[in-house]
Amino acid sequence: MSAIYRRGLSALLCLMTAQAAAVVPEELSRMIAAIPKATQTLSYEGEFIYAHDTHLDAMRIVHRADQDAPAERLVSLSGPAREVVRLGDKVTCTFSDHRSVLVERRQPRDFVTLALSEPVETIARHYEFKQLADDRVAGRTARVISIQPRKADRHSYQLWVDAASNLLLRSAVIDGTGKVLEQVMFTEVSIGGEIPANSLEPEVDGEGFTWYTNEKQPPAPRSGDAALQVQWVPEGFALKDLHTQKRASGRKPMHHVVYSDGLAMVSVFVEEISSKEPPLEGYSTLGAVNAFSRLQDRHQVTVVGEVPQATVRRIAESVSIRSDDISAR
C-alpha cells in the first residue's frame, strides 16, 4: 500500500468518524429544536434564580405568547429594584437605583430560553449531545440534556427541559474543570392559561427619571470590513453581525462584530481612544462570560463572549486594524 494511499485512507476514515460523531439521535434533536418554539408559543409565569460567581439573584418573569407582538416582563426580587418590559421589539429597562429608563428596539429574544442560531445537526459538529436521566425542577419532570464541546475552546452546557411542554426550566454553563459558571433555574412556574394585561405593566412609571432612547435599527450584517479584520475565531464560528455604533458627543464610533457557532456568541469591540482615557487591558469575568482587552495603535480592542478566557484572548490578539481607514469611518 503506497504512502499516498495510506494518507488518503486515513484522512477519509477521520472524516467519516467526525461525521458519525456529529449525528444526534432523532428524538433528542427534536427535543432540542422544540425548546425555542415552546418559549415562543407558550404563555407562562414564574420565579427563577440566576446564580453566577458568588451572587444569587431572584427574578420573576411573566411571558405572554402572541404571534404578532409577544410580551414579557422581568422583575428583580432581590437587590436593586429593576425591571424589563418587552412588547414586540420594543424593550424598556427601568433602573430605580439609578433613576433611569432605557428604551430601545432590538430583535426579540426571550429571557429564559435556549438561543439556537443554527440547526442542531450543524451545532453537533462542534458539540456532543447526550440525554441523561430525568430530574425534577419546580416540581415538574424534566428531561436532562448534556452538551459537551469537542474542543477546549468552548464551554459545556446542561439543560433541564419540561417533559410536558418542552419549556426550558433550568440551564447551566460549565467550564472545562466541571465548575458551574452560571445557571438559571425556575423555583416555581405556571405554564399555559391567560396572562392578564396588568401583569405586563411596569410597577415604576419612570416619572422624574432620566430617559434614554435608542430606537434606530442596526444596519444589516456585511460580509467584511477592510479596516477591522478578525483573523482567528474557533472553527464553526461564523459572522452574524457587523456594524458601527455612534457614541456620545466627542467620542469616536465603536466598531462591533458578532460571531456565533449556533450556541455560543462572541463580540469584538474596537474604538479609538484619546490620550486622556485610561485604556483597559487584561481579563474580566462575569459568570460564564469572559472578556479580554488590549490596546493597539490608539484603539481599544475588547472581545466578550461565553467562551473560555484563552479563547477570548486568542481572538483579541488576532484582531488587526488599519488605523487610517477605521478612524475615517
State the SS3 of 189-217: EEECCCCCHHHHCCCCCCCCCEEEEECCC
d(CA 249, CA 243): 19
Q: Do the beta carbons of residue 118 and residue 104 sit within 8 Å? A: no
DSSP state of 215: -
Residue ranges per structural domain of the chain: 14-211, 218-327
d(CA 212, CA 190): 34
Domains 14-211 and 218-327 alike in fold = no
Residue 295, strand partner residues: 300
The three grid cell numbers given for residue 178, joined into one nine-digit string: 466541571
d(CA 272, CA 36): 38
> What is the per-residue pLDDT for 234?
97
d(CA 48, CA 57): 9
> What is the per-residue pLDDT for 70?
82
> What is residue 179's three-state secondary structure?
coil
DSSP track, 20-45 = HHT---HHHHHHHHHHHHHHHH--EE
Burial class from Cβ neighbours inside 10 Å (0-12, 13-18, 19+) for residue 81 reads: middle
Would you write out the chain's pLDDT as a tens digit for each of its 329 residues?
Answer: 444 444 444 444 444 444 444 678 888 999 999 998 898 889 999 999 999 988 999 999 999 988 777 888 989 898 888 888 888 778 888 887 777 787 876 654 555 677 788 889 999 999 999 999 999 999 999 999 999 999 999 999 999 999 999 999 999 999 999 999 999 999 999 999 888 888 888 877 777 778 777 654 444 444 344 477 999 999 999 999 887 776 555 567 788 999 999 999 999 999 888 767 777 889 999 999 999 999 988 899 999 999 999 999 999 999 998 755 554 44
> What is the per-residue pLDDT for 5?
40
Please give the helix or strand (H or E) that residue 326 lies within, else none.
helix 323-327
What size, in residues, is the chain? 329
Backbone Cα Rg of the chain: 22
218-327 fold = Phosphorylase Kinase; domain 1 (3.30.200)
> What is residue 316's three-state secondary structure?
helix
The CA–CA distances, whole Å, from 298 to 271, 291, 295 equal 9, 19, 7
CATH of domain 14-211: 2.50.20.10
d(CA 160, CA 142): 5
DSSP track, 5-21 = HHHHHHHHHHHHHHHHH
φ/ψ of residue 119, rounded to 5: -60, 155
Residues 6+ apart with CB under 8 A from 244: 219, 253, 254, 255, 256, 329
Residue type, 230: V
